[in-house]
Amino acid sequence: TGSKNVGDQVNYEITGIDPGAGLMKATEKAMKDYGLKNDWTLKEGSSAAMTAELKKAYEKKEPIIVTGWTPHWMFSKYDLKYLKDPKGSFGKGESIHTLTRKGFKQENPGANKILDQFFWKSSDMEDVMVKVQDGAKPEDAAEDWVKSHKKQVAKWTKGAPKGNGKQVSLVYVAWESEIASTNVIAKALEQEGYKVKLQQVEAGPMFAGVAGGSADAMVAAWLPTTHKDYYDKYKGKFEDLGPNLKGTKLGLTVPKYMDIDSIEDLKK
């Protein structure tokens, strides 16, 4: 891409996602930490819009910088790299936690137990994400996964009484990773006889819903850093059932064909 600096190549734009995402806050922090605040813009949108732009650029081998995270299907579909973050603006690897509303355990101990025992690996989540990206409906990709991982799902449902139609409401944000996890835990609950209602919302309302009791649970709290603000805001108003996945990552992401390696290279 010749002599033009990276900023000129990408119009001083970083392609972001929904404004409620912790990743957006982390990116703003990075822009400040690396002195990019004045020249660069972080574009708001959605994860679907971000991946659409990434696809478009990638197919033409054009430069692009997106806000990325792991687990995500984009790393298996495209040759991408995280820009090095020597200042640690994006924090360390974290875990995704399951949160339930207060009182849920007492009212629905069976579903609570399944949610509590829900745990899988990044590669599991990615399997589901890739299928959805390839065109499967999330509920179908989730059902396939649950049916082909009976042993693993049996560990989640172990010791939990059958649902007999008892209702469970789950809230989630339309992040590809959370579409996968929420649909999979929903299928596991349904398999045990629970009646599951899924509701897609923004990040703030997701936390507010569980904290306020209008939703039973969420499997989408990235901790300790990404969702710290939401977590602290509602602390004491939900139950934290701990991690359902460990080893996530956030960062600025570019195609490997781009000739930069570090966020520091954006300063030039």
> Is residue 176 a contact partner of residue 129, using CB atoms and an 8 Å limit?
yes
Residue 262 per-residue DSSP state: B
Closest listed residue to residue 217, CA positions, set 248, 243, 246, 182 = 182
- Cα 43 to Cα 24: distance, rounded to the nearest angstrom: 9
In whole angstroms, how close is the CB of 177 to ligand PBE at the nearest point?
5
Q: How far is the CB of 203 from ligand PBE (least distance, A)?
A: 6
Q: What residues contact 203, with CB distance under 8 A and at least 6 apart?
A: 18, 20, 21, 22, 173, 227, 230
| Token pair for 120 | 């899988």
Q: Which is nearer to ligand PBE, 168 or 203 (CB)?
A: 203
Smallest distance from ligand PBE to CB 233, Å: 14
- The nearest distance, CB 259 to ligand PBE, in angstroms, is 26
> What's the longest Cα–Cα distance across the chain?
66
Q: How far is the CB of 72 from ligand PBE (least distance, A)?
A: 8
Whichever of 196 and 219 has its CB closer to ligand PBE, that residue is 219
Token pair in block for residue 209: 């819903």
Token pair recorded at residue 36: 């990019």
- Report the residue number, 70 or 100, with the smaller CB distance to ligand PBE: 70
Binding positions for ligand PBE, rule: CB under 6 A: 17, 21-23, 69, 175, 177-178, 203, 222, 226, 250
Q: Which is nearer to ligand PBE, 124 or 178 (CB)?
A: 178
Q: Which is closer to ligand PBE, CB of 98 or CB of 177?
A: 177
Question: In the complex, which residue's CB is closest to ligand PBE?
Answer: 23
Strand-strand pairing, 13-15 and 41-43: parallel
Measured distance CA(244)–CA(227) in Å, rounded: 15
CB of 64 vs ligand PBE, minimal distance in Å: 17
Fill in the DSSP letter of residue 83: P
Considering the complex, state which of residue 175 and residue 194 has its C-beta at the smaller distance from ligand PBE: 175
Q: Closest approach of Cβ 21 to ligand PBE, in Å? A: 3
| Cα 245 from Cα 126, distance rounded (Å) | 12
Residue nearer to ligand PBE on the CB measure, 22 or 110: 22
